[in-house]
């Protein structure tokens, strides 16, 4: 029982440390200081956040919301596409949709979390 509790605590912490190491490693490359770098970092954060509970031993059951979660991920992808086009200078967006690195990171995190949650909770 103690080993199971220890695994439930240690594995999520190892994931967080791994994420921190990967993000610091990615910061060392100059070519990764772009729109896509922030989107990739966000996806990595979202994926690892979605994996923390299952790796810690917490199970979830399907609740029928997978279609809605996929729709939300699709909307996030469309918003990220518009922000990339604005970043590239192809499109002009209103002020609240301007591409900001923190916004792209947050959108990538949400998209990664949603996609992994859908994959983990699909019907078998």
Evaluate whether 120 touches 54 at the Cβ level (below 8 Å): yes
**How far, in Å, CA of 33 to CA of 24, rounded?**
12
Domain boundaries, the chain: 2-120
Can you give the pLDDT at residue 69? 76
Task: Encode pLDDT of 58-99 as tens digits.
Answer: 666 666 667 777 788 888 888 888 878 888 778 776 766 666
Angle at 118 between CA 72 and CA 26, to 5 degrees: 80
**How far, in Å, CA of 30 to CA of 34, rounded?**
9
Task: Encode pLDDT of 14-65 as tens digits.
Answer: 877 887 787 777 777 666 667 778 888 888 888 888 887 777 666 666 666 6
Can you give the pLDDT at residue 87? 80
Can you give the pLDDT at residue 120? 80
Can you give the pLDDT at residue 25? 79
Cα dist from 15 to 23, 48, 60, whole Å: 12, 7, 19
Q: What is the pTM of this model?
A: 0.70
Can you give the pLDDT at residue 98? 66
């Amino acid at each position: 029982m103690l080993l199971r509790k220890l695994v439930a605590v240690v594995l999520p912490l190892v994931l967080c440390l791994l994420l921190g190491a990967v993000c610091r490693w990615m910061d060392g490359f100059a070519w990764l200081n772009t729109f896509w770098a922030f989107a990739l970092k966000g996806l990595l954060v979202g994926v690892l956040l979605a994996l923390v509970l299952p790796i810690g031993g917490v199970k979830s059951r399907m609740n029928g919301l997978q279609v809605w979660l996929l729709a939300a991920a699709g909307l996030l992808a469309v918003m990220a596409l518009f922000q990339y086009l604005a970043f590239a200078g192809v499109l002009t967006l209103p002020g609240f949709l301007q591409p900001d690195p923190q916004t792209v990171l947050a959108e990538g995190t949400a998209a990664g979390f949603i996609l992994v949650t859908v994959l983990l909770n699909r019907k078998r």
